[in-house]
A = this chain, B = another copy of it.
Amino acid sequence: MSESKEKSTIVLFSGDLDKAIAAFIIANGAAAYDHEVTIFFTFWGLNTLRKDQDVANEKGWLEKAFGRMMPRGADKLGLSRMNFGGLGPKMIKHVMKKHNALSLPQLIELAREQGVRMVACTMTMDLLGLQQEELLDGLEYAGVAAYLGDAADARVNLFI
């Protein structure tokens, strides 16, 4: 890619549906403006990338416990507020559909099509016991050094 392209990065730390939607709307908007966009998924943000089926793998009990307690994929995330035990996300998804807004899985798909780079933070994958086969295909895997390399060249750097 050419050096002259505007760059943007987003660290998606949060595992909340509403924040993930905001992150992808900004990322897709920036990609539409021809920015080179990278989203770094770290901590709870990694849950956005989980496949929704159970993936058999060998884990210690603690990693299994984390895996079971954390939401499995973009369609299972809760809201940062007004979650009401899962009712809030249903309401939000309902109004998004009604307004013909893209759902989070559709926003992720669009991001892929637009060439948004999605990077999973390997350090927190280790900590939370998440393995590559549990996450969506086509991701990159890297650490904080890669993030900083991109962010130092970018103007819009957000932590969400």
Contact = CB atoms under 8 A, between A and B. Distances in A.
Interface residues of A, number: 52
A92 interface: yes
B127 A29 contact: no
Contact of A148 (B19, B26, B91, B157): B26
The A contact surface, by secondary structure, is helix
B157 A160 contact: no
A44 interface: yes
Interface string A89-101: 0011011100101
16 contacts: A11-B158, A18-B43, A33-B148, A33-B149, A44-B81, A62-B94, A66-B91, A66-B95, A95-B129, A101-B126, A101-B127, A148-B156, A152-B155, A154-B155, A155-B157, A159-B160
